[in-house]
């Protein structure tokens, strides 16, 4: 039996060569980040339900063949009016203001009472006057990524864009969301943040201890 003493280092204490080895080793370990993809999928499912769509084998394969042609062929100003008449309250929700650490009833704001992990009540306040287009489907940023074509159209309605065109633009946005997320979690910056956030220790050569 013998005792071996090994010096360990934090990531920011490593040499550049050792940092690169640590990053590449971390990437090869294939940590599970499925929850990011699950969040995208949840956003897509909410969108599919909102617009009464169907999907193929992939979530980015949005289908509208079951929707009446009178809707899929709407374009320009008519499409703008259709979206605003039927989906305004879904696309623009009351703006969140703040949370209060107790149950609160009021008329000035829209109040939603919830419970925290301890079971204690708190109240989320929303404006009755102002609305927001932030994360309206599930509350995560991917909502905005996949709905961006809709918001872009509502800001500047194109007279040639049909409802079908808009759905296909959304489909491209969904594909981009999946691809961008995969690229992001494989990037050096993401891995470096993960390493530093978890306060890992390394040998001088950059091997995870």
Query: For 42-80, how does the pLDDT look when each residue is reduced to its tens digit (9 = 90+)?
Result: 999 999 999 999 999 899 999 999 999 999 999 999 999
pLDDT tier at 138, thresholds 50, 70, 90: very high
State which of 75, 107, 131 marks the end of a domain.
Answer: 131
153 and 176 co-located in one domain: yes
Specify whether 52 is located in the same domain as 141: yes
175 and 83 in a single domain? The answer is: yes
Residue 27 inside a domain? The answer is yes
pLDDT of 1: 77
Boundaries of domain holding 48: 19-92+133-198
Q: Is the pLDDT of residue 144 over 80?
A: yes
* Residue 91, φ and ψ in degrees, nearest 5: -85, -25
User: Going by C-beta distance under 8 Å and a sequence separation of 6 or more, which residues neighbour residue 118?
Assistant: none
Is residue 177 assigned to a domain?
yes
Q: In the structure encoding, which two tokens stand for residue 13, read together?
A: 């204490």
| 110 and 192 co-located in one domain | no
Is the domain of 144 the same as that of 189?
yes
Among candidate residues 131, 153, 188, the one where a domain is terminated = 131
H/E run at residue 198: helix 188-198
- Average pLDDT for the chain: 92
127 and 137 inside one domain? no
Domain-located, residue 207:
no
CB atoms within 10 A of CB 58: 12
180 and 137 housed in the same domain = yes
Say whether pLDDT at 106 is over 90. Answer: no
| Residues ≥6 apart with Cβ < 8 Å to 172 | 60, 149
Examine residue 9 and state whether it is found in any structural domain, yes or no: no
* Residue range 3-16, pLDDT digits in tens: 778 889 899 999 99
Looking at the fold, whether 109 and 43 belong to one and the same domain comes out as: no
> In the chain, how many domains are there?
2
Which of 77, 106, 131 is where one domain is finished?
131
- Residues 27 and 84 occupy one common structural domain: yes
Strand partners, 114: 122
Nearest to 72 by CA among 85, 63, 61: 63
Q: Identify whether residues 167 and 82 lie together within a single domain.
A: yes
**Which residues, including other chains, have CB under 8 Å from residue 195's CB and lie 6 or more apart?**
11, 22, 23, 26
Same-domain status, 75 and 103: no
pTM: 0.82
In a domain, 38, yes or no: yes
pLDDT tens, residue by residue, 153-200 = 999 999 999 999 999 999 999 999 999 999 999 999 999 999 999 999
If asked whether residues 101 and 159 sit together in one domain, one would say no
Residue 1 in domain: no
Q: Is 6 helix (H, G, I), strand (E, B) or coil?
A: coil
């Amino acid at each position: 039996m013998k005792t071996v003493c090994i010096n360990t280092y934090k990531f920011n204490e490593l040499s550049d060569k050792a940092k690169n080895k640590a990053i590449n080793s971390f990437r090869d370990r294939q940590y599970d980040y499925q929850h990011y993809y699950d969040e995208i999928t949840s956003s897509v499912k909410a969108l599919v339900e909102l617009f009464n769509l169907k999907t193929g084998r992939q979530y980015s394969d949005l289908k509208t063949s079951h929707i009446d042609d009178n809707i899929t062929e709407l374009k320009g100003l008519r499409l703008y009016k259709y979206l605003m008449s039927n989906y305004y309250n879904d696309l623009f929700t009351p703006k969140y203001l703040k949370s209060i650490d107790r149950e609160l009833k009021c008329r000035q704001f829209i109040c939603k009472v919830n419970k925290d992990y301890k079971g204690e009540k708190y109240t989320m306040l929303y404006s009755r006057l102002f609305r927001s287009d932030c994360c309206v489907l599930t509350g995560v940023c991917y909502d905005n990524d996949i709905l961006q074509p809709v918001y872009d159209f509502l800001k500047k309605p194109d007279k040639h864009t049909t409802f079908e065109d808009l759905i296909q633009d959304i489909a491209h946005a969904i594909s981009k969301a999946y691809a961008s997320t995969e690229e992001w979690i494989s990037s050096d910056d993401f891995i470096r943040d993960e390493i530093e956030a978890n306060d890992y220790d390394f040998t001088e050569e950059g091997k995870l201890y």
